[in-house]
Chain A
Amino acid sequence: MKHILGKWDRREIVAAGAALIGSVALGSSHSVRAQIKSGDQPESSEMWLKVRASLFENRPIANVGDDTLVLDAPVRAEDAAVVPVAIRAKLPQTAASHVSKLYLVIDNNPSPIAAIFSFTPQSGRAEIETRVRVDEYTFVRAIAETSDGRLLMRTRFVKASGGCSAPPGKDPQAAMASLGKMKLRVDGDVVLGKPTLAQLMISHPNDSGMVMDQLTRQFTPRRFVRSVNVAYAGQPVLSADLDFAISENPNLRFYFVPRGPGALSVEVVDTAQAAWKSSLDVMPNA
């Protein structure tokens, strides 16, 4: 399957992510790390300035409203391990003008660049719903990049979950036992030429690798879903570069436009280079 990432290839993203992880190493620096509690001054968030420089350099980024870009995220992370997030671009998705990428940034996570989603006109809509881990009180950002090179941003402040809720998965042993199992689903009537909602579920512990073994004092190797590529009838509709900020058992809801009968095909690759494929035959109604 042809990857549809543009300027950024996977290695660059990994490198950017790794550099940012280094600057907020979990645990060791907990006492010196500033802990924010309020949603004031999103533009001056220290981590955002680093992410912004690494992803967008000095390009202008416009703050936009719900008529252009919607970011749905809860006010408080009820379960720190599973926080639903939806990004919906309200711009036309045509060959002439479309949203080519959606970036999901969680400023105060150990790896702030949670995901980069790439779309094509065949996506029909540049929309994505997923679930993420939220470590701390943080700004969550959606940045849309258009085919003509504009950058548009929405920002929300999400309060950390309190009490006994934490970002690690609930049952890593169970997730590992069914590693790579997928469920691919298309909901509702499928109409020829209309954007159609699909859901992909991947069984995977999506391990951050930040857990130290108490006996060996070694960190467990990180293993998480790195990329998801989806095509319909051979045409790319979604390419996702993901990080361990995505919850255990990654879940993606996205759109595609069926222009005739075809297969919705998915390829998933994790950081251990394990790859899994799934496909679903679709027969749109006229």
Chain B
Amino acid sequence: MWPPHRLTAALVLAAVLHATTTAAQGPASPAQSASDVPALDLPALDVTEIAPGVFLHAGKLEDWLPANGGDVANLAFVVGSRCVAVIDTGGTPQLGRRWRATIERSTRLPICYVIDTHAHPDHVLGNAAFVSPDTRFVGSAKFNAAMAARAPYFLRALERDFGVSAAPDAVVYPTIAVDGTRELDLGGRTLVVQAWPTSHTDNDVTVYDRSTRTLFTSDLLFVQHIPVLDGNLRGWLATLQQLARVDAALIVPGHGPTRRAGPEAWAPQQEYLETLRRETRAAIKSGKTLSQAVDSVGTEAASRWQLAERFHRRNVTAAFAELEWEE
């Protein structure tokens, strides 16, 4: 594997080059108003080159909150010979602007694709910062419906919890809808975007970089951060079986550190989700109500994960509402 090294030194040099390219960036995105800090002055996000031409900003292992500026999801970009693809844009419009500034300080190539891995705020509320004539947004064919239903709530949470007032056009929707797989040519390297049946959400996509065999699972895999169920538990377990067979060298989860490919990368999450399924089924069979199940199911399995207190009861709720329909 490519030895990871810090990119910070390179960014200083790139920042100088950046000044000459900003004028050609096209119309300002909806979130860039006169009162905003110029992108050049924004502090860069920490970025690590995890494989040749593959750069990762590791989000904090925390919930999407003002204290961390919404900087909790793993964000990545992949550089080809012609252009750059960005994988997720961050949890607030402000973070999106920092992320774009960070990328533009490291490469002069245009951003030709933004891939939205799923319609959750911590991954895609930075989209507006990337609106440009050069850039096409890519997501699951089910992304737009899911995001349209949730956008008012996400914007309200931004306002209520973050004190950020964002106009409805701060939410940017993909125009390339992936149903099955879609290849994106960056010049000299191809990314494969793949949509999955309902798992973590109903609109998950993964990204696979063929040249380095890096698999970006987004939230189909959580590492250390407790998995969060907002889709279909049985679907997610089935998807995991298939993901484990992908010919990958390196796996980048949606939250938590990267993993070398192998069964141990998937095992902790698989075990948690299987326990959740088993114990929820048992609670339903014994006639427990949803409220009773939430207090008892899977507490031991959840205790091995960070942020269990924040998400585990929610996972039991979603699992119960799904599994009570099993015959």
A interface residues, Cβ below 8 angstroms from B: 26-27, 30-31, 33, 35, 37, 72, 74, 78-80, 82, 84, 86, 129, 131, 135-137, 160-168, 170-174, 183, 187-188, 201, 203, 210-214, 247-249, 251, 253
Shortest beta-carbon distance from B295 to chain A in Å: 10
Q: Are B152 and A82 in contact (CB under 8 A)?
A: no
Q: Which residues of A contact B161 (CB under 8 A)?
A: 162
A203 nearest in chain B by CB position: B325
Which A-chain residue is minimally distant from B151 (CB atoms)?
A: A27
Q: How far is the CB of B134 from chain A (nearest CB, A)?
A: 21
For chain B, give the interface size range. 35 or more
Not counting A203-B325, A249-B321, a sample of 16 additional A-B residue pairs whose C-beta atoms are within 8 angstroms of each other reads A27-B155, A30-B152, A37-B160, A74-B294, A78-B317, A84-B294, A131-B321, A137-B160, A162-B157, A163-B64, A163-B310, A166-B149, A168-B149, A170-B198, A210-B149, A251-B324
Looking at the assembled complex, report how far the CB atom of A178 sits from the nearest CB atom of chain B, in whole angstroms: 8
Which A residues touch B201, using CB under 8 A?
170
> With A203-B325, A211-B149, A213-B148 in contact, do A173 and B156 touch (Cβ < 8 Å)?
no
Contact A212 B148 (CB under 8 A): yes
Name A79's contact: one of B65, B120, B314 (CB within 8 Å): B314
Q: Are B318 and A164 in contact (CB under 8 A)?
A: no
**Cβ-neighbour of A171 out of B120, B150, B173, B198 (below 8 A):** B198
Among A30, A168, A203, A251, the most chain B Cβ lie within 10 Å of the Cβ of A30
| A35 close to B160 (CB less than 8 A) | yes
Cβ-closest 5 pairs across A and B = A168-B149, A27-B152, A164-B120, A78-B314, A166-B150
Tell me if A's interface is mostly helix, strand, loop or mixed.
loop
The answer on a CB contact under 8 Å between A211 and B145 is yes
Smallest beta-carbon distance B97→chain A, Å: 21
Give the one of B154, B289, B314, B322 with max A CB within 10 A: B314
Q: Which of A165, A212, A213, A249 contacts B314 (CB 8 A)?
A: A165
Q: How far is the CA of A137 from the CA of B159 in the complex (A)?
A: 13
What residues on A are CB-neighbors of B153 within 8 Å? 80, 135, 166-167
B residues sitting closer than 8 Å to A (CB atoms) are: 63-65, 120-122, 142, 144-146, 148-157, 159-161, 165, 168, 173, 198, 201-202, 228, 230-232, 287, 289-291, 294, 310, 313-314, 317-318, 321-322, 324-325
Q: Are B317 and A214 in contact (CB under 8 A)?
A: no
Chain B residues near A163 (CB, 8 Å)? 63-64, 121-122, 157, 310
Alpha-carbon distance between A36 and B63 when the two chains are bound, in angstroms: 21
Taking CB atoms, residues of chain A closer than 8 Å to B198 are 170-171, 174
B291 and A84: CB pair below 8 A? yes
Contacts of A137 in B (CB 8 A): 160
Task: Determine how close the nearest CB of chain B comes to the CB of A80; give it in whole angstroms.
Answer: 7
Listed by A's residue number, 24 A-B pairs whose Cβ atoms lie within 8 Å are A30-B155, A30-B156, A33-B156, A35-B160, A74-B291, A78-B313, A82-B321, A84-B289, A84-B294, A84-B317, A129-B289, A136-B156, A161-B314, A162-B63, A162-B65, A162-B310, A167-B153, A170-B198, A171-B202, A171-B231, A174-B232, A201-B324, A211-B149, A249-B321
Contact between B228 and A164, CB atoms less than 8 A apart? yes
Q: Which residues of A contact B230 (CB under 8 A)?
A: 164-165, 170
Of the residues B120, B142, B289, B325, contact of A253 by C-beta under 8 Å: B289
Report the separation of the CA atoms of residues A108 and B201 in the bound assembly, to the nearest whole angstrom: 26
Query: How far apart are the CA atoms of A31 and B310 in the complex, in Å?
Result: 27
Contact of A172 among B145, B157, B160, B321 (CB under 8 A): B145
In the assembled complex, the CB of B161 is this many whole angstroms from the nearest CB of chain A, namely: 7
Query: B159 touching A187 by the CB < 8 A rule?
Result: no
Per the bound structure, the CA–CA distance linking A174 and B152 in Å amounts to 23
A164-B152 contact given A82-B318, A170-B318, A172-B145, CB 8 Å threshold: no
Cβ–Cβ < 8 Å partners of A74 in chain B: 291, 294
Contacting pair B149 A170 (CB below 8 A): no
Query: Are A187 and B287 interface neighbours, CB within 8 A?
Result: yes
Indicate if the CB atoms of A171 and B325 lie closer than 8 Å: no
User: Could you tell me if A31 and B289 are in contact, using CB atoms closer than 8 angstroms?
Assistant: no
Assembled-state Cα–Cα distance A285/B289 (Å):
25
Q: Which residues of the other chain, B, contact A35 by a CB distance below 8 angstroms?
A: 156, 159-160
- Determine the residue in chain A with the shortest Cβ distance to B144: A214
Query: Roughly how many angstroms separate A164 CA and B160 CA in the complex, as a whole number?
Result: 14
Q: Which of B154, B228, B231, B313 contacts A166 (CB 8 A)?
A: B154
Residues of B within 8 A of A167 (CB): 153
Partner of A78, one of B120, B121, B294: B294
Q: A162-B161, A170-B230, A171-B231 are in contact. Are A26 and B152 (CB under 8 A)?
A: yes
Report the minimum CB–CB distance from B281 to chain A (whole Å).
15
**What is the distance, in angstroms, from A237's C-beta to the closest C-beta of chain B?**
20
Q: How far is the CA of A188 from the CA of B286 in the complex (A)?
A: 11
Contacts of A79 in B (CB 8 A): 314, 317-318
* In the complex, chain A residues whose CB is within 8 Å of the CB of B202: 170-174
Please tell me which one of the listed residues B150, B159, B317, B321 contacts residue A168 in the complex, with CB atoms under 8 A apart.
Answer: B150
The answer to whether A214 and B142 touch across the interface, beta carbons within 8 angstroms, is no
Closest-CB distance, B67 to chain A (whole angstroms) = 12
**Smallest CB–CB gap between B114 and chain A, Å?**
16
The answer to whether B290 and A131 touch across the interface, beta carbons within 8 angstroms, is: yes
